[in-house]
Amino acid sequence: MRTSLDDHRLPPLVDPTALPRIVTRDHARKLGYSANSIQHRLDSGQWRRVLPRTFLTLDTLTWIDRQRAALAFAGRDAVLSGAAALTDLGLRSVTRPDSLLVLVPSTARVRSTGWVRIRPTKRLPSRALRPGPACAPVARATADLALERRRLDDVRALVTEVVRRELCTVDDLIAELDVGPSNGSARLRDAIEEAGEGAWSAPEAHAARLLHAAHVPRFKQNERINLPNGDWVYVDFLWRELRAVLEIDSQEHHGMPGDADQTSDRHLVLETLGFSVIHRKPRFVYRQPEKFTAGVSSGLAGRAAALGVRS
């Protein structure tokens, strides 16, 4: 005897006739609600208008409701971008935005309103392959957000974090930069270049730029040093020939409980292996750039003299 599990007519997991939390006027009409019925629910407070022709059918507007409402208002092909597409990925450099950026086809007639910013584009991306509301791929969303930021360090923080988290690659960002708008892209271009050279944070990227400008001997960023026991450590800046290391002790990456002990342990291991280690706080790098570069240059020169190496 066939059981119900064998029946190809099993009911769907989601009832297509169920009333969603967010519904447009057109969708509500397709579900059987008349214009008078819709208006009655709005007048009685059962539903709430959150955007033109877009309603919340319950009493609390959540973050995901806002995302879905923005997409419902913008139309079928719309995708979230910028901070609205990145904020749910757990990035430290991104917070939930007050206004949501939505990309739509260049032929769409919908316009920005309230807390929804509509951006028509001829390069409408396919939605990212992840659950939840339709979002642009990480590289596109990152580029769109970076173009809105006015401080280079804010763009650095964003770019280095998405690359370090392996949410997209430097090449992905370069591809977006090459086909995206050139106006206002200088900060994004600089941040991508720095990430490509190995920067893992905005303070590291800033420090690297200062060292290059001061003509400090060439270095590698976030290089691996193998240890005798088979383990390894990564250091922020390495001059391998001089066996010299520079660490930027950023609170962002070294501020968790126990990290201070780990930093001290790593310092001891490196010193035991014959490396000279310089530690600098980001605030020193930013506030006293000349002293920072002079101190590193002096330390490297002394190291070169001690080892008999030409720097």
Blockwise average pLDDT, block size 10, the chain, 311 residues = 45 66 96 96 96 96 97 97 98 97 97 97 95 97 97 97 96 96 94 94 95 96 92 94 93 47 79 94 96 97 90 60
- 189 with 248, same domain? no
- 159 with 244, same domain? no
Q: What is the pLDDT of residue 5?
A: 41
Residue at 13 is within a domain: no
- 88 with 31, same domain? yes
- 233 with 259, same domain? yes
Cα–Cα distance measured from residue 263 to residue 311, given in angstroms and rounded to the nearest whole number: 27
- 183 with 89, same domain? no
Residue at 61 is within a domain: yes
Q: Which of 100, 116, 139 is the last residue of a domain?
A: 139
Cα–Cα distance measured from residue 300 to residue 304, given in angstroms and rounded to the nearest whole number: 6
Find the radius of gyration of the CA atoms of the chain: 26
- 35 with 116, same domain? yes
Q: What is the pLDDT of residue 107?
A: 95
Half-sphere exposure of 54 (CA within 13 A, CB side): 20
Q: What is the pLDDT of residue 94?
A: 98
- 77 with 149, same domain? no
Residue at 220 is within a domain: yes
Q: What is the pLDDT of residue 256?
A: 39
Q: What is the pLDDT of residue 18?
A: 78
- 133 with 29, same domain? yes
Cα–Cα distance measured from residue 40 to residue 238, given in angstroms and rounded to the nearest whole number: 69
Residue at 129 is within a domain: yes
Residue at 7 is within a domain: no
- Phi, psi at residue 83, to the nearest 5°? -60, -35
- 32 with 131, same domain? yes
- 108 with 187, same domain? no
- 86 with 167, same domain? no
Enclosing domain of residue 57: 22-139
Residue at 8 is within a domain: no
Residue at 242 is within a domain: yes
Number of structural domains in the chain: 3
- Adjacent-strand bridge partners of 248: 280
Q: Are 79 and 124 in contact (CB under 8 A)?
A: yes
Question: Which strand ranges, in their side-by-side order, compose the sheet holding 54-56?
Answer: 22-24, 54-56, 48-51
CATH assignment at residue 295: 3.40.960.10
Threshold 0.95, pTM exceeds = no
144, two tokens: 């769109």
Q: Position of tokens 């690359």?
A: 163
Q: What is the pLDDT of residue 3?
A: 42
Q: In 3D, which of 281, 264, 257, 145 has the Cα closest to residue 203?
A: 281
Cα 132 to its chain centre, rounded Å, is 17
Q: What is the pLDDT of residue 257?
A: 41
Residue at 218 is within a domain: yes
269, two tokens: 């291991």
- 133 with 44, same domain? yes
**What letter represents residue 172's amino acid?**
D
| Long-range contacts of residues 173-182, Cβ cutoff 8 Å, at least 24 apart | 173/139, 173/142, 173/143, 175/139, 176/139, 176/140, 176/142, 176/143, 177/143, 179/123, 180/123, 180/143, 180/147, 181/147
